[in-house]
Amino acid sequence: MTLSSLSSHELDFIDDDEFHEECGVVGIWTTQDAASLTALGLHALQHRGQEASGIVTYDGNQFHTHRGLGLVGEVFDDPRVIASLPGGMGIGHNRYATTGETQLRNVQPLYGDFEFGGFAVAHNGNLTNAQLLKQSLVRRGCLFQSSTDSEVFIHLIAISLYSNVIDRFIDAIKQVQGAYSLVALSKDMLIAARDPLGVRPLILGKLPYIQDENSWVVASETCALSSMGADFVRDIEPGEVIIIDHDGVRSIHPFADNTSSRFCIFEYVYFARPDSVIENKSVYMARKKIGAELAKESHVEADVVVPVPDSGVPAAIGYAEASNIPFELGIIRSHYIGRTFIEPTDQIRNLGVKLKHATNRAVINGKRVILIDDSIVRGTTSKKIVEMVRAAGAIEVHLRIASPPTQHSCFYGIDTPAEEKLLAHTHSIDEMCKLIGADSLGFVSADGLYRALQEDKRNNQNPQYCDACFTGDYPIPLTDHDMQLVKSK
């Protein structure tokens, strides 16, 4: 195996025991420099996808596109690339593959020439009936150029019998199942849409410093607005379609009353950037409150609270404040490891956590340590971190997790292992604790997680969030998955 033959998943072997983000999308409607603004937004959303990035712009006469594999700073590192993307309207996309391999043909935004002109689309989420729709579309003569489920939107729009762009777009989204936050660009308008349950985030912002008052931003998170000096206007609602054109912003609700909010609860636990505000909640404060609930539910006597960086930091602060135990950075994370240049042999895999994390012996040696992390996936990273902390002199190591046990796979846009590879799916908490090597192990309860998000508790008849990875309660049909199960029997 040579380095050039490694897939991105193999190159990311250090992170193979973590959940990976879905994708990030940005849309710009203004009168100048859409590409630069879009790139700034994508930089801020880099945490949502690190495999590939792309931008499509329109200058009033023609569309321009640039897509590439790698981080935003790698794909758009040459000023000549941004200069090759003129125009005041644009959309951009950061990708982490949940469907389709990592190849240039799968990099978004996807673009097509239609009878009404050019059309580009960028998608965050995952369609649960994409394979069924693809089979039908192929039978009708559609030729797929990628292996990503997002291309289904392009073909559904292409074959629609409606005459205008918006009606074709709505016709398409009414045929898909799953989670989607979409931004799309035609020569006349920027379109943004969320699925009827609003599983993935999408927000609307305003560019106040640009002379044209009709200058707007659509993005996955508010942190993207901050990076380009835009003001937050509001969350786009579940099932809502936003149209931005030369007349301003208008809203359509094509799903009538068949909408409700089942926003992904794991955005608050891990995926969103801490400085974002989503659904009127500060992500950072939500994580602190989760840590406080964790302290109430599974407190243990100890000398120091230590986060597993970086995602465990806010919850650890909340835990420390609620328990009156000192917070210390007992584990230091390297932010410069990136994708290793070393071929991932078994020996190097075993050293992977040490390349990424180092213990701060001065605050651990001789102490009873409470480790705070956001989740446990396979458990291999947790085991190695516990071993590292013990090797640094900890006399006790108690692991506390700022989410309920992850027992089920996600089918709505988050890259998770199959259920049989999730440690919590196959083991009890006591068994997990023994395998990881901690003195004790505790998770925040589902009710505790909901309380931290300002709900009394989880309503079993009408849960307020999508929490399927914890409960197995999937709010959107898993059509393709169920078909595969039937075929395998």
CA distances from 184 to 66, 229, 328 (A): 16, 22, 45
Per-residue confidence at 489, pLDDT binned at 50, 70, 90?
low
Topology of domain 3-261, per CATH? Answer: Glutamine Phosphoribosylpyrophosphate, subunit 1, domain 1 (3.60.20)
Extents of the domains making up the chain: 3-261, 285-453
Question: What does DSSP say about strands 178-186 and 117-127: parallel, antiparallel, or unpaired?
Answer: antiparallel
Q: Which residues are catalytic?
A: 23
Q: pLDDT tens across 322-354, in order?
A: 999 999 999 998 776 554 444 445 555 555 556
Q: Which amino acid is at 408?
A: H
Q: pLDDT tens across 105-114, in order?
A: 899 999 999 9
Q: pLDDT tens across 371-416, in order?
A: 999 999 999 999 999 999 999 999 999 999 999 999 999 999 888 8
Do 380 and 398 touch, CB atoms closer than 8 A?
no
Question: What does DSSP say about strands 52-58 and 89-95: parallel, antiparallel, or unpaired?
Answer: antiparallel
Topology of domain 285-453, per CATH? Answer: Rossmann fold (3.40.50)
Q: What is the mean pLDDT of residues 457-478?
A: 92
**Residue 305 pLDDT exceeds 70:** yes
Q: Rounded to an integer, what distance in angstroms lies between the CA atom of residue 210 and that of residue 214?
A: 9
Q: Rounded to an integer, what distance in angstroms lies between the CA atom of residue 375 and that of residue 357?
A: 17
Q: Rounded to an integer, what distance in angstroms lies between the CA atom of residue 178 and that of residue 412?
A: 6
Q: Would you state the structure tokens that stand for residue 266, as one six-digit string? A: 């794991």
| Average pLDDT for the chain | 90
Q: Would you state the structure tokens that stand for residue 115, as one six-digit string? A: 């009878």
Q: Give phi and psi for 186, each to the nearest 5.
A: -115, 180
Dihedral over Cα of 162, 182, 281, 99: its sign: positive
Instruction: Give the DSSP H/E element, type plus range, for residue 118.
Output: strand 117-127
Q: Would you state the structure tokens that stand for residue 92, as one six-digit string? A: 């951009």
Q: Rounded to an integer, what distance in angstroms lies between the CA atom of residue 264 and that of residue 278?
A: 11
